[in-house]
Amino acid sequence: NAGVTQTPKFRILKIGQSMTLQCAQDMNHNYMYWYRQDPGMGLKLIYYSVGAGITDKGEVPNGYNVSRSTTEDFPLRLELAAPSQTSVYFCASIPTGTDTQYFGPGTRLTVL
């Protein structure tokens, strides 16, 4: 996973609760991404960042927020959890000067 860390690994939330999924890399990568993976649906981009202080929406941003105050960290925030947000969330980053996207180990989130 080239040093991309995600916490927690698993989490169960009740409807309406909020939480932050953490993603960090210590390799000074500028590009970072958040995806969600649902069975049979591939990976869908939620948000991405091309550097500290810069974020942009992906394909499925509704219900999520992000921030990028440092190069190392790219947290994903769920404000009012809904059952539709039950999924596996992956963070990824790209080393400068390459195209290879390295993924973290994922966070499995269940909203009940």
Partner 1 sequence: QQQVKQSPQSLIVQKGGISIINCAYENTAFDYFPWYQQFPGKGPALLIAIRPDVSEKKEGRFTISFNKSAKQFSLHIMDSQPGDSATYFCAASSKGNTPLVFGKGTRLSVIA
Instruction: Check whether the bond before 61 is cis (ω within 30° of 0).
Output: no
CB-nearer residue toward partner 1: 85 or 106: 106
- 109 binds partner 1, rule: CB under 8 A: no
19 binds partner 1 (CB under 8 A): no
Residue 59 CB-half CA count within 13 A? 9
Measured distance CA(52)–CA(65) in Å, rounded = 15
Q: Considering only residues 46-105, where is the footprint of partner 1 by CB under 8 A?
A: 48, 50, 58, 90, 92, 94, 99-105
**Residue 16 or residue 102: which is nearer to partner 1 going by CB?**
102
Per-residue tokens: 54 = 């810069």
Amino acid identity of residue 58, one-letter, is G
| List 20, 22, 43, 52, residue binding partner 1 (CB under 8 A) | 43
**Amino acid (one-letter) located at 5:** T
Separation of alpha carbons 70 and 32, rounded Å = 11
Closest by CA to 86, choosing from 62, 110, 50, 67, is 110
1 binds partner 1 per the rule CB under 8 A: yes
Closer residue to partner 1 (CB): 17 or 73 = 73
Residues at the site binding partner 1, with contacts judged by CB under 8 A: 1, 4, 31, 33, 35, 40-45, 48, 50, 58, 90, 92, 94, 99-106
